[in-house]
């Protein structure tokens, strides 16, 4: 059975385009055109949600938590908003990924496939675990070896991104796009400083393990734990 994706988008043309795109890539779909309708049609047969923020009635932000509570599946937000603080707020509400409109079809399909793969590693409480690291995305907290880790917003999102892709390399361009939305402030030095700070904080909790690996010239990955 093909994964079924719930499209929550009030623009009829965009909704139809997404239905066609998903069908062409082996996915089934169901559509909702408002937040209220989305909460009605979302059910156990849904594997992933594509969520537009600007909806009539209840907005996308308002329904993320309710959708997750009804049936917890990955939520990819679709929006033209570029503000990184806004994005972090959405992640804290329960969003799993974010794609900026207008988006490339190939990118959206790649993100869908990645979320469907990584979704099995996320518990009903939205917790990620990699070795001794436990991340609670709902409460915006992280701990290692049972000790709380104090992280900035960008450090938290970077650690989440690495944990969600455990064993797979996150390229620098992928990180710049998700964490800094390709802002001018994002460069190799900024990324290296953030990675260094996260490594130091993890080391303070667990001195026996090195969690984050550098893939020289490409990016970073968190160790794959059996």
Neighbouring C-beta atoms of residue 56, cutoff 10 Å:
11
Q: Yes or no: say if 164 and 91 are a contact pair by the CB < 8 Å rule.
A: no
d(CA 61, CA 68): 12
What pLDDT was estimated at residue 123? 41
The three-class DSSP label of residue 29 is: strand
User: Low-confidence residues of the chain, pLDDT below 70?
Assistant: 1, 81-88, 118-126, 182-185, 225-226
What pLDDT was estimated at residue 34? 93
The fold of the 4-121 domain, in CATH, is Rossmann fold (3.40.50)
Neighbouring C-beta atoms of residue 182, cutoff 10 Å:
12
* C-alpha to C-alpha distances, 135 to 38, 139, 155, nearest whole angstrom: 28, 9, 12
What pLDDT was estimated at residue 59? 84
The fold of the 127-222 domain, in CATH, is Arc Repressor Mutant, subunit A (1.10.10)
d(CA 111, CA 96): 10
DSSP assignment string, 59-121: -HHHHHHHHHHHS---EEEEES---HHHHHHHHHHT--EEEESS--HHHHHHHHHHHHHHGGG
Q: Yes or no: say if 133 and 124 are a contact pair by the CB < 8 Å rule.
A: no
Eight-state DSSP code of residue 223: P
What pLDDT was estimated at residue 105? 92
Q: Directed axis angle between helix 60-70 and helix 84-93, to 10°?
A: 30
d(CA 222, CA 5): 29
Domain-wise residue ranges, the chain: 4-121, 127-222
What pLDDT was estimated at residue 86? 65
């Amino acid at each position: 059975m093909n994964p079924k994706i719930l499209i929550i988008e009030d623009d009829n043309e965009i909704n139809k385009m997404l239905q066609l795109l998903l069908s062409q890539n082996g996915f089934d779909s169901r559509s909702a055109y408002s937040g209220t309708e989305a909460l009605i049609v979302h059910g156990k047969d849904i594997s992933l949600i594509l969520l537009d923020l600007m909806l009539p009635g209840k907005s996308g932000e308002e329904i993320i938590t309710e959708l997750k509570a009804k049936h917890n599946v990955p939520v990819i937000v679709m929006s033209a908003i570029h503000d990184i603080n806004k994005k972090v707020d959405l992640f804290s509400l329960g969003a799993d990924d974010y794609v900026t409109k207008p988006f490339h079809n190939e990118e959206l399909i790649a993100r869908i496939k990645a979320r469907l793969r990584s979704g099995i590693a996320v518990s009903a409480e939205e917790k990620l675990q990699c070795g001794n690291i436990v991340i609670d995305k709902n409460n915006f907290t992280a701990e290692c070896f049972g000790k709380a880790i104090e992280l900035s917003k960008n450090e938290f999102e970077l650690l989440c991104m690495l944990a969600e892709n455990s064993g797979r390399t996150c390229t620098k361009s992928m990180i710049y796009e998700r964490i800094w939305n390709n802002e001018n402030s994002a460069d190799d030095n900024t990324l290296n400083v953030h990675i260094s700070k996260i490594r130091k904080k993890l080391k303070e909790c667990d001195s026996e393990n090195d969690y984050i690996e550098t893939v020289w010239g490409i990016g970073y990955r968190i160790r794959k734990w059996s």
